[in-house]
Structure 1
């Protein structure tokens, strides 16, 4: 079979290269997963401890999510100009610098430095998400959902291990003269630095640059291969970008808002960092572990059906979280598991829609801009969550997030009705 025939059949023209690239990306995601878990696990508690106020406990999440918005633009532009390898490596290295800044702020007791460092730390989160696009660059259209999910699921290892290391890293921090709550950022700094090294050294050939070369060499075959994605399942052009972006934006907004305040809610009911770390570990596991199944569902049953499932699952999560007693770790863990699963459905479906829609010539830049909107939504959810909880309580926040997620359903139904 010739390369042209292979591409036209919907099979990656470089399967051996794609396997190598996915292997390297998986290694980077395992490390970066441990890095991003630090801010999720203790960021709000650290700010609450330094400021003595619950109303601003959502600020750290808002800051590192806002930082991820700026980083998404930067990583997207660098990737567009020079390839995925330098873009992703620079993003992780910036996240490592931010982690070091958080440690310095905790030692010096400087809240302003803490907020600046958390903003910089957000680059690691943006880069972790941008890596999923690199997994799809060389994937055949009919297998993009699975390629994205392979990269995402690797985050589970580090993401689940990170929160459960909150207590041990806290003890290590105390031994080094660093406040206990800042301990996970020691792990974050090392993890992000190692992820940057892995990608800088081994992500060769660059998937985006190779995909462009193949597209130029086999333009006709690439056009035929695009038919492998079901064109009747999603809108084309700007409509596809808007739809995919909205699915990810709403999923991120609801997920960040509820996730951010859950450790604070548990802390207020007498639970320590070990219990909140366990719940967050379950949540992060649910965010990434189902990815292989989600990818298959997206490829087999369509992007729109999985996007609708995201809204319904997030509604279930908000309802369980709102009704769960504050002292019930199992029910809160269930709520956060559903929250992670709903986010996963939205992210994989939205990413597949965006990748199907955007041409290679502008792909990385457009993906970066979409991730900016996703990051801004997360920052908004994180910032608003503390204010809502301080004013009305955690159950109101959880239920409001669940109801808001239903906005996905009419959008998906409208897109389905506009299908050719």
Structure 2
């Protein structure tokens, strides 16, 4: 179906296109996140296996984050010029090529080539992340948070399925003669290919190009198109999302290390696995609830709700750091706080930005979020060694306090922000 608009296109037709778009993006997010979940699970293991040094295992995770940070802005600019279909499809292709490179690196036992492949998968995931913004291109004000959160929630399925497929993938990989620890990438490549085909077939008309044309023509403007730019509000939204992500990533990254010193060698793997699984469930499982609340209560209120949950998480982590149950509760609250803040923050960024500038600011937000998380995780390691897990949690409160203190900027009116 060509991406054309007729003169009669109105609110009802835009709403129909939006429903189809959200369903397509949510399904594509499930498929795309399977590959990313497998990479997160296997990247560190492959890095340690190929390099022969456990100390280098963390480079795989860092490289995935770096790839997403580098690619976020270029993919967003491509979306602005060519549409969401082009940028999302390119992300899928990058991830597919990255999978091929990772498997080849495992076969050749080449650590540098492995990092290149992981970097490409991370770059592809930048496109996957931008799916949530694509869900807001044609969303009405009353449903913007809900539509965005549905796509975010879909990540739960792929994020859980990817790691769970690792044992089955290894068995299949051995049967077909694939290199050690790469069997799950068979499933990942099929999932990425499925997402690519889905977008090519179903993401028509392109939501961003449609929104840009509606903005130019004036059709459906009141319901779906943002005409007044509020740059101060947009900057606060970017800061709130990045700050919440830094808090979550820094504490979460150090949790397995902290638990490893608490649990017995026989149970540490299970304890870490269950704790991180509950954290991921907190991150994505209730995102539609926070999307609905953001639509009903307002974006800034739900950002502040997220900060309250983050405060609760950090206080629990600081006071119950010696308890496995306390750490698990802290990680659940940490995930919930992240979800509330990022869903409502992304919705606030979208509606504070005129249609023509959306992709650029959205890409900038994703890039800042990824770079900040990488820096935060690196700094968290030093803080953990200096003042421990509880001290790390208390340090993270500084970022939360800044997001709360600057929240009046998120309520600026159009005239005040111009």
Normalising by structure 2, report the TM-score.
0.84
The equivalent residue for 1:83 is 83
Quick one: structure 1 residues 62 and 77, their matched pair in 2 at CA, closer, same or farther if it must change by over 3 Å?
same
Correspondences of 1:96-245 after superposition (within 5 Å): 96-173=96-173, 176=177, 178-180=179-181, 184-218=184-218, 222=221, 224-225=222-223, 237-245=230-238
Quick one: structure 1 residues 100 and 227, their matched pair in 2 at CA, closer, same or farther if it must change by over 3 Å?
closer
C-alpha distance in structure 1 between counterparts of 2:178 and 2:258, whole Å: 28
The equivalent residue for 2:280 is 284
2:230–2:413 CA contact under 8 A, matched in 1: no
C-alpha distance in structure 2 between counterparts of 1:319 and 1:306, whole Å: 20
C-alpha distance in structure 1 between counterparts of 2:234 and 2:259, whole Å: 38
Quick one: structure 1 residues 292 and 279, their matched pair in 2 at CA, closer, same or farther if it must change by over 3 Å?
same
2:24–2:198 CA contact under 8 A, matched in 1: yes
How much does 1:131 deviate? Answer: 0.4
Correspondences of 1:2-81 after superposition (within 5 Å): 13-48=13-48, 50=51, 52-54=53-55, 57-81=57-81
How much does 1:30 deviate? Answer: 1.0
**Among 236, 242, 250, the residue aligned to 1:249:** 242
C-alpha distance in structure 2 between counterparts of 1:338 and 1:226, whole Å: 33
C-alpha distance in structure 2 between counterparts of 1:187 and 1:227, whole Å: 39
1:155–1:288 CA contact under 8 A, matched in 2: yes
SS state of the match for residue 294, structure 1? helix
Between the two structures, name the one with larger relative contact order (CA 8 Å, sep ≥ 6).
Answer: 1
Quick one: structure 1 residues 186 and 315, their matched pair in 2 at CA, closer, same or farther if it must change by over 3 Å?
farther
How much does 1:409 deviate? Answer: 0.9
In the alignment, is residue 306 of structure 1 matched against residue 302 of structure 2? yes
1:150–1:292 CA contact under 8 A, matched in 2: yes
The equivalent residue for 1:359 is 354
How much does 1:81 deviate? Answer: 0.9
How much does 1:145 deviate? Answer: 0.7
C-alpha distance in structure 2 between counterparts of 1:393 and 1:51, whole Å: 29
2:32–2:195 CA contact under 8 A, matched in 1: yes
Q: Deviations over 1:362-398 (max 9, x none)?
A: 2222211222111211222233344444555544444
Quick one: structure 1 residues 107 and 396, their matched pair in 2 at CA, closer, same or farther if it must change by over 3 Å?
farther
The equivalent residue for 1:95 is 95
SS state of the match for residue 18, structure 2? helix
2:321–2:389 CA contact under 8 A, matched in 1: no
2:69–2:368 CA contact under 8 A, matched in 1: yes
How much does 1:94 deviate? Answer: 0.8
C-alpha distance in structure 2 between counterparts of 1:246 and 1:33, whole Å: 25
1:103–1:186 CA contact under 8 A, matched in 2: no
**Among 402, 408, 411, the residue aligned to 2:406:** 411
How much does 1:134 deviate? Answer: 1.0
2:302–2:344 CA contact under 8 A, matched in 1: yes
The alignment covers a number of residue pairs equal to: 405
How much does 1:273 deviate? Answer: 5.3
The equivalent residue for 1:335 is 330
SS state of the match for residue 179, structure 1? coil
**Among 317, 328, 331, the residue aligned to 2:313:** 317
**Among 340, 363, 366, the residue aligned to 1:371:** 366
Quick one: structure 1 residues 300 and 72, their matched pair in 2 at CA, closer, same or farther if it must change by over 3 Å?
same
Q: Deviations over 1:5-46 (max 9, x none)?
A: x97xxx665222111111111110111222222343344454
1:58–1:382 CA contact under 8 A, matched in 2: no
How much does 1:53 deviate? Answer: 4.4
Quick one: structure 1 residues 417 and 196, their matched pair in 2 at CA, closer, same or farther if it must change by over 3 Å?
closer
5+ long unaligned stretches in structure 1: none
Normalising by structure 1, report the TM-score.
0.84
Quick one: structure 1 residues 362 and 141, their matched pair in 2 at CA, closer, same or farther if it must change by over 3 Å?
same
C-alpha distance in structure 1 between counterparts of 2:179 and 2:340, whole Å: 38
